Structure 1
């Protein structure tokens, strides 16, 4: 399922290496954090699925509004994720959770659930590098956003926090 979904997402973003590289990296970090946190296989799979589709709304946001703004991603992403996951016969209840996280992954207040927390941390780990954020911005996010011991450890290792 995971490899099929990754391939489908690559096809969806065909020709956009930057977006493909991004979700592959987020997936890798999300999986690593989930494994380090010793999550059960079902939750780990949910995190992997969410990480692969978390930015699915960008393409539609850019096409419709000329922007990849996070709020537009949250608005447009869930329906696209739902359609793709239904095509892959992913479980309906799990689709609802994935879509909830996709629809909130740029909202950092009231993060509920280890799956949501890990996705946010993995996305930040990648965005720190891709957006070339400075040490102070990384420290602020580390102190305010990161909650899992594993996500914190990876941030410390990668960015010298």
Structure 2
């Protein structure tokens, strides 16, 4: 048995320890935000946060997460009440097809938790492992910049009320 703490909820999982975390999230826990893209850790569509680091969940065996905190896009907000970073992505129209966006947001969330006001260069460098085939990179950077602004948290709180 493996104990997974996903989005602050503990789950006792009876799965093969070598199963990729992505499969457990999607198939056992029905958390479909993280997407299967390449299965090789080259696109970032499956990015989640484990501990405080963004990781490719398609490569990480679930056994490596035993007892560690896992966060998915579902932990940041909902359709009705998007979190500040999600709201910024909506405001900046940063998604085109949307397939990469959950991974981009999770990688950006990890950055914003470490760096309050990242520069555009820091944002680009941090996002480098994640790919967007639609080419919305400029809007993605703008969304992260917006979310990093102190007032963005207040705007998101007001939108939720």
TM-score range, shorter chain: 0.3 to 0.5
TM-score, normalisation: structure 1: 0.39
Determine which structure has the larger strand proportion and give its number. 2
TM-score, normalisation: structure 2: 0.39
Determine which structure has the larger helix proportion and give its number. 1
